[in-house]
Amino acid sequence: MRILKRPNTLAVFFAALSMSLLMSACEPAASDEPADASAASEPTYVLAIHGGAGTIRRSDLSPEREAQYRAKLEEALRAGHNVLSGGGSSLDAVIATLTILEDSPLFNAGKGAVFTHEGTVELDASIMDGATKNAGAVAGVKHIRNPIALARLVLEKSPHVMLTGDGAEEFARENGVEMVDNSYFYTEWRREQLERAKAAEGAMGAAMPPGEELAPGAYKYGTVGAVALDRAGNLAAGTTTGGMTNKRFGRVGDSPIIGAGTYADNATCAVSSTGWGEYFIRGVIAHDIAAMMAYGGASVEEAARTVIMDKLEAMGGTGGVIAMDREGHVAMPFNTEGMYRGRIDAEGNVTVEIYKD
Ligand code: ASP
């Protein structure tokens, strides 16, 4: 949705003409005013989110369940919009939005995250500031209620980009971050998904592709991400997840990897990915979109579409991204049956979509 205010060409011409007549009539004239004051564009702000991509079909969701997803996505969008409309930063908006989704049992992040092979929950998250290109990430944390907030602390209070496991939790404790028992994250439906994944394990190996439906109802999408542009023109992106059902051996996906699951640079775009993480890591998907814009001059729509529909697809990967440029243009390509996604513009207009069509 474009909310750009471009000067009307005729208006600019007549304004320039009258200005030059005025200047020749009363020399010397000194003015810092632009020829046409309306040429200065209004700062805009936009927020977009995803709630995971995968085999999400109408037949999989009851009307009640679908309504719950739509309501929670809208609540998250409005929380981020409140931050942006009040002049808050894109980083703050990303945090406000993703905290709501982490606290909801509907998504594979925070409460409601998928189970590991051992029947525990291990969480990954990352965030990036497009203005400074500073980033923070955590991987394999087990007791952090809101991993996205910890990723932000890493960005702000540590000289590092990524902290993992016990070390990340020690850093969290030192910084007074809220810790919870691992059982806080457990939900019955994710436990059932683990059982189904284990039953299908023979066919697929230990970890299951997110969103793959190997047994009826065993779909397990739900990673969440947000990209935002604030009034100051700064982009930010964040992603937070429980990873893949039945993961083992400390497996870490793309979500906490800067350049794969998350990327933001004011010069190009902000990106958050969701899908089969191994492909997003090997394809360096989020940064690839920014690179097409930086080196090839592609628009965010072209870049995101090419990287997902051509490159990721050709690699055999599945998933999607949300990507936003510094003018607030949003692209949301995915090559799966569906992707929970939504956006909100400066006027507060909300769009939430789930399926491909
Ligand atoms: N990309 C995440 C991972 O592989 C999962 C997802 O997006 O659903 O860990």
- pLDDT for the residue numbered 57: 83
Q: How far, in Å, from the CA of 54 to the mean position of ligand 1?
A: 10
Each residue's pLDDT, cut to its tens digit, for the chain (357 residues) gives 333 334 444 444 444 444 443 333 333 333 343 334 344 567 799 999 999 998 788 888 899 999 999 999 999 999 999 999 999 999 999 999 999 999 999 999 999 999 999 999 999 999 999 999 999 999 999 999 999 999 999 999 999 999 999 999 999 999 999 999 999 999 999 999 999 888 877 655 555 555 554 443 344 578 999 999 999 999 999 999 999 999 999 999 999 999 999 999 999 999 999 999 999 999 999 999 999 999 999 999 999 999 999 999 999 999 999 999 999 999 999 999 999 999 999 999 999 999 997
- pLDDT for the residue numbered 38: 40
Atom of ligand 1 nearest to the CA of 243: 9
Could you tell me if the CB of 245 is within 6 A of ligand 1? no
Q: How far, in Å, from the CA of 231 to the mean position of ligand 1?
A: 30
3-state SS track over 308-354:
HHHHHHHHCCCEEEEEEECCCCEECCECCCEEEEEEECCCCCEEEEE
- pLDDT for the residue numbered 41: 63
Could you tell me if the CB of 244 is within 6 A of ligand 1? yes
Beta bridge partners of 225: 50, 239
- pLDDT for the residue numbered 319: 95
Alpha carbons 328 and 99: distance in angstroms, whole number: 22
What is the set of active-site residues? 223
Q: How far, in Å, from the CA of 35 to the mean position of ligand 1?
A: 51
Could you tell me if the CB of 318 is within 6 A of ligand 1? no
Q: What amino acid occupies position 216?
A: P
- pLDDT for the residue numbered 56: 82
Atom of ligand 1 nearest to the CA of 261: 1
Atom of ligand 1 nearest to the CA of 210: 8
Query: Ligand 1 test: best mutation among 212, 276, 308, 339, most atoms within 8 Å of CB?
Result: 276
| Count of CB atoms situated within 10 Å of the CB of 42 | 10
Judging by DSSP bridges, how do beta strands 162-164 and 135-141 pair with one another?
parallel
Q: How far, in Å, from the CA of 80 to the mean position of ligand 1?
A: 23
Atom of ligand 1 nearest to the CA of 124: 9
- pLDDT for the residue numbered 219: 43
Query: Ligand 1 test: best mutation among 56, 108, 255, 272, most atoms within 8 Å of CB?
Result: 255
Give Cα 346 distance to the centre of its chain: 18
Could you tell me if the CB of 55 is within 6 A of ligand 1? no
- pLDDT for the residue numbered 196: 87
Query: Ligand 1 test: best mutation among 245, 274, 321, most atoms within 8 Å of CB?
Result: 274
Could you tell me if the CB of 320 is within 6 A of ligand 1? no
Alpha carbons 313 and 108: distance in angstroms, whole number: 23
- pLDDT for the residue numbered 220: 55
Strand, coil or helix: 158: coil
Could you tell me if the CB of 253 is within 6 A of ligand 1? yes
Q: How far, in Å, from the CA of 241 to the mean position of ligand 1?
A: 7
Domains (ranges, CATH) in the chain? Answer: 47-355 (3.60.20.30)
Q: How far, in Å, from the CA of 228 to the mean position of ligand 1?
A: 20
Q: In what order do the strands lie in the sheet with 350-355?
A: 162-164, 135-141, 123-129, 235-241, 224-229, 46-54, 338-344, 350-355
Atom of ligand 1 nearest to the CA of 108: 8
